Amino acid sequence: MAGIFSTAKKAGLDGFLLALLGMIVLAYLWPSPGMKSSPVPLSEISTYGVSVIFFFYGLRLNREKLSAGLSNWKLHAMVHLSTFVLFPVLAFVFRPLFHSTDARTLWLAIFFLTALPSTVSSSVVMVSIARGNVPAAIFNASISSLLGVFLTPFWMSLVLENSSGNNDLLSVVGKLSLQVLLPVAAGMFLNSRWGNWAEKNKKYIRYLDQSSILLIVYTSFCESFGEHLFRSFDLKDILFLGLGMLAMFFAIYFLLTFISRLLRFSHEDEITAVFCGSKKSLVQGAVMSKVLFAGPQAGVMLLPIMVYHALQLIVASIIAQRMAAKIEMQNKRNARFV
């Protein structure tokens, strides 16, 4: 059990999750500082924090490690088809179950979750713990984040009622490119000079990343609570949402396992496929919610990804530990017969 908590902590499930919950409580009790009418522009400050997050991400993006994962195209195709096609299709399948206005809003938030890219750090951590193909995990997680700048707005443009077509889509992609792609490119350009420094100080950089996410979550929920958008949600709704997110994770996980074995992936590639292809990024969710859902709706849109984020780390850490223990046991058995 201690190993499971240790793995979850490496992937980001520690005090950060409690801090996320704390930000929601704080936004509920004291929403005025995070609203647009506040004299302190916290929302604008959080926007600059997003660019800082992705600059340091690019600074730590080692091009040699990234290029090492290029060759296995079947694995890459499977991961990205799962992330950007299978997830949204699954959400569309269950769309008829959401009838009322509030239910449709919740479905939109769930669909936003399914359209997001995969995580970076936690995917690589889980693949490493489970003894998977780490270079391929680094490649897929990194490319997923960049593809999300274009594919997530595209999916959302198909379901957002206030979308006005290509102009809105191009506008969103342009904003995300400035906030995400440009800082990443700048960081990668400086990787050869400052990359080692960033790697040595990754713990402190991570604190900066998490602080920016906490600020985004706080300001998003301040607007939502200030406009009373959560008045129709109760504890039962949150519990059902959690069960739904858990069911979604396992549905994708087992489907990817089945397809990996059908395609005769190696054990290492199967591990990479199921962990990279079943994850969703809270960081990208927080960033994109500010661009796609300006105003009080952003907090509601973040609710499913926050629930999924916590559950995916807990469940994936347990699975990764069991995979690692199974491999260790297999190695010991093989050693006895040598």
CATH number listed for the domain at residues 2-325: 1.20.1530.20
Q: Is 166 exposed, middle or buried (0-12, 13-18, 19+ CB in 10 A)?
A: exposed
Please compute, for residue 261, the number of CA atoms within 13 A of its CA located in the half-sphere on the CB side. Answer: 5
Can you give the pLDDT at residue 168?
66
Can you give the pLDDT at residue 39?
67
pLDDT, tens digit only, all 338 positions of the chain: 555 555 555 555 557 777 877 888 888 888 877 776 666 667 667 767 777 877 887 887 777 766 666 678 899 999 999 999 999 999 999 999 888 877 888 899 999 999 999 987 778 878 888 888 888 888 888 889 889 989 999 999 898 865 444 446 677 788 788 877 888 888 888 888 888 888 788 778 878 777 877 887 787 778 777 766 677 677 788 888 889 999 999 999 999 999 999 999 999 999 999 999 999 988 888 888 878 886 667 778 888 988 898 888 878 888 888 887 887 787 777 666 55
Please compute, for residue 338, the number of CA atoms within 13 A of its CA located in the half-sphere on the CB side. Answer: 6
Does pTM surpass 0.85?
no
Copy the structure tokens of residue 153: 């707005």
Best CA proximity match to 127, nearest among 137, 119, 117, 118? 137
CA-to-CA distance for 281 and 293, rounded, in angstroms? 17
The gap from C-alpha 200 to its chain's centroid, in whole angstroms, comes to 24
- 35-41: long-range contacts at Cβ-Cβ below 8 A with a sequence spacing of 24 or more? 35/219, 35/222, 35/223, 35/226, 36/223
CA-to-CA distance for 34 and 296, rounded, in angstroms? 11
Copy the structure tokens of residue 169: 């889509």
Task: State the DSSP code for 266.
Answer: -
Copy the structure tokens of residue 283: 């960081």
b/e sequence 32-54, b meaning 16+ C-beta within 10 Å = eebbeeeeeebbeebbebbbebb
The DSSP secondary structure of 179-212, one letter per residue, reads IIIHHHHHHHHTHHHHHHHHHHTHHHHHHHHHHH
